[in-house]
Amino acid sequence: MEDKATHKRRVRYSGTHPKQYHEKYKELQPDKYQDTVEKVMQKGSTPAGMHRSICVDEIMEILQIQPGQIGMDATLGYGGHAKVILKRLMPDGHLHATDVDPIEIKKTEERLRNAGFDSKYLTLHHMNFSNIDLVVKEAGLLDFCMADLGVSSMQIDDPSRGFSYKTEGPLDLRLNPEKGESAAKRLASLTQKELEYLLVENSDEPYAEKISKAVMLHFKQGKKIETTSDLRNLIELSLQFLPEKTRAEDLKKTCQRSFQALRIDVNHEFEVLYEFLEKLPASLKSGGRVAILTFHSGEDRMVKKAFKQGYRSGIYSEISEDAIRPTPQECSQNPRAKSAKLRFAVKA
């Protein structure tokens, strides 16, 4: 007779509320604990393991999605935008969605399939959105396309992914941890000048020289930078000269910028966006509409420039004159929306 599996009790957390990512078992099971999730969201926070889609109404107004159309969500993520789009495409439209993250695309596919969107309505592609031409080869020209260039909250919040300076984890930062080199390996391969250039170019970091010198000295002393805490502590050490009154806030911003700069480099984000923007016009039908949501000034400049050049050359018949920003109400409910900028274009 086989022994019954031993029941394992959930590990209890100290205090009244869970603080560590793995302890937030209710937030990590939103379908089962909806009340807890709603309470977290009402406080203006994003539940662990979830992502709150930004500018949904504005994007839907831009795309003007109609039943029966064929479109693409270039950055599937948690699937929030995709779910709204799919409802508008019913009963006979189809959405193609790409995502480079092998971990999250499986979770999102399960959620969307369980919501009733089978292969008749939704095709998922585990690939980078720079391969939009490969999607079009299968799907045909697109009626619309959208891209949300922000890193998803579930990636940021999971310490094992190494995206945040706030939590201890491996210094990884890869959107696809199965390919390429981690941020730790990349950092160890750079010269001082290369690191300084990277920090300035990718995040306009004002203390790039100080940080790059501290990193190189650290390596010369035979020490390693392998975790998020290693890098954060080194940045803090290099900026001890800052006035005590503003030091905490300045350190926070510098850590954010430095991690962002490394993430952009590790994932070749500017190169990927450039390739996508180059292929985009040939992927849209006449009258096809595109909406792109950015969270970084460098990305926004690239999108703005591509749309303006396309408009001047007659590729696009209409583009957004200015960036569209989330409403104050949305920013209040979801602070991660504050840096978002939305631009659109319509194929001639």
Place of tokens 């109400």: 329
pLDDT at 106 over 70: yes
More confident call, 199 vs 9 = 199
Q: pLDDT tier at 49 (50, 70, 90 boundaries)?
A: low
pLDDT of residue 32: 59
SS3 of the chain: helix, strand, coil, percent, to 5: 50, 15, 40
- With a pLDDT cut of 70, the percent of the chain lying above it is 85
Q: Which residue has the higher pLDDT, 94 or 25?
A: 94
For the chain, percent of residues with pLDDT exceeding 90:
77
Give the residue among 223, 215, 185 at the shortest CA–CA distance from 199.
Answer: 215
pLDDT at residue 2 in the model = 45
- Cα Rg, the chain, nearest whole Å: 22
- Looking at 8-17, 189-198, 212-221, 324-333, which range is the least confident one? 8-17
The ranges assigned to domains in the chain are 56-153+270-347, 177-266
Q: What is the mean pLDDT of residues 68-84?
A: 95
* pLDDT of the residue at 213: 97
Q: What rounded mean pLDDT belongs to the chain?
A: 89
Ranking 41-50, 146-155, 166-175, 307-316 by mean pLDDT, the lowest is 41-50
Give me the mean pLDDT over the 304-308 stretch: 98
Burial class (CB in 10 A: 0-12, 13-18, 19+), 325: middle
Inform me whether the pLDDT recorded for 1 exceeds 60: no
Residues with Cβ within 8 Å of 124's Cβ and at least 6 positions away in sequence, in order, are 76, 96, 97, 98, 99, 105, 109
- pLDDT score recorded for residue 157: 83
Query: For position 132, what pLDDT does the model report?
Result: 98
Can you tell me the mean pLDDT for 180-206?
96
Longest dimension (CA), the chain: 77
pLDDT of residue 13: 54
Residue 288 in this model has a pLDDT that exceeds 60: yes
Q: Domain 56-153+270-347: which CATH class?
A: alpha beta
Per-residue model confidence (pLDDT) at position 35: 56
Phi, psi angles (nearest 5°) of residue 99 = -160, 135
Q: Which of 338, 308, 293, 309 is nearest to 60 (CA)?
A: 293
Sorted by sequence, the CB contacts under 8 Å of residue 222 that are 6+ apart come out as none
Neighbouring residues of 240: CB distance < 8 A, sequence distance ≥ 6: none
pLDDT bracket for residue 4 (50, 70, 90): very low
Confidence of residue 156 (pLDDT cuts 50, 70, 90): confident
- Of 41-55, 88-102, 108-122, where does mean pLDDT reach its minimum? 41-55
**Span between the terminal Cα atoms of the chain, in Å:** 72
pLDDT digits (tens, 9 = 90+) for 233-284: 999 999 999 999 999 999 999 999 999 999 999 999 999 999 999 999 999 9
Residue 141: predicted pLDDT? 98
* pTM (two decimals): 0.84
C-alpha 169/C-alpha 162 separation (Å) is 5
Q: Evaluate if residue 28 carries a pLDDT over 60.
A: no
Burial class (CB in 10 A: 0-12, 13-18, 19+), 345: buried
Mean pLDDT to the nearest integer, 158-186: 93
The confidence score (pLDDT) of residue 17 equals 55
pLDDT, greater one: 36 or 254: 254
Cis peptide before 91 (omega within 30 of 0): yes
Confidence of residue 16 (pLDDT cuts 50, 70, 90): low
